[in-house]
Amino acid sequence: MALNNSSVARSYTGNMESNLETPTEIIVASPNDHDIIDACSEPNESSKQALAPIGIFDSGYGGMTVAREIIKALPHEDIIYVGDTNRCPYGPRPLEEVDSFVQQICSWLIERNVKMIVIACNTATAAGLKHAQQVFDVPIIGVVEPGSRAAAYATRNRKVGVIATQATVESGAYSKTIRNLDAGITVFSTATPRFVEIAEQGIRMAEGPIEDYTSLASKVYIRPAFREIAKEYLEPLRRVGIDTLVLGCTHFPLLKALIGGLIGREVTLIDSAKETARDVCDILERREQLAPDDREPHYSFYSSGDNLEEFKKFGSRVLRMPFDTVHHVSFD
């Protein structure tokens, strides 16, 4: 509902008759000791892949909230992060166009031998995840399913709100995924496009000593005008009585304090970034591709935009850790 302003297992059972004679002697050929040593010393494919990086991409900065959670959960993994800032934002673009961006960036990451890809953008997930999974061999996950699953499990009154970009809301990705998990849940979705602008403006250092201090302390400075915009977005969701709210854009965890204060403490906020990091851990563990605990991680950052210094400054604040170099990449 939009708001305005098992797999199948098969078995076979049969009778088999055999006229084979029972052998009087079975001889098993064994490799010599030298062959055994050579075989054991060869690293298997899983151990090779364990040393490969995780690829993460977004239309810009927001996906760094996902990268931050993955780094916290898996501190020994190498990360390649791509911010497609030259074509940001994805939200207002047609889904077919965004899908082409997804395939292009996934292909670029595959060339860098990543062991899995995280599409850290809700619009890109809605537009191109299924297509990418069909094209590429490595595991590829998005942020919609982890957030939807957490929301379906968390709600008590079966009223779930979703705030996201216009494209994500129009795709119906969250509504479909949540209702596939529990058809009895009513999903109330509303587009909140200015939240991206608020998050990006708020996280930059504001001028003046008082705002400087506030920004450093809270990570995102919230101007009074921002609060009024947020109140207008969230009031319809509060009135319908949701008890769970999905932050359906990777920028939105930066606004948790603002959103939580306006929607009410009784509403559970679902952070797709944290849920996605849990899925990354689970997939790599099941595939036996986790990096060794004694490994020093390496992080590489790429931007398709021209202002690499701005990308570095903004990214350092979102990640809450400094990084020295941002590389330019062109997808034209």
Give the residue numbers marked as catalytic. 121, 249
Mark out the alpha helices in 111-156 (DSSP H runs).
122-135, 144-154
Residues 120/123/125/126 CA torsion (nearest 10 deg): 160
Max Cα-Cα span within the chain: 93
What type of residue is 300? Answer: S
User: Could you please report the per-residue DSSP string of 186-245?
Assistant: EEEEEE-THHHHHHHHHHSPPSSHHHHHHHHHHSS---HHHHHHHHHHHHHHHHTT-SEE
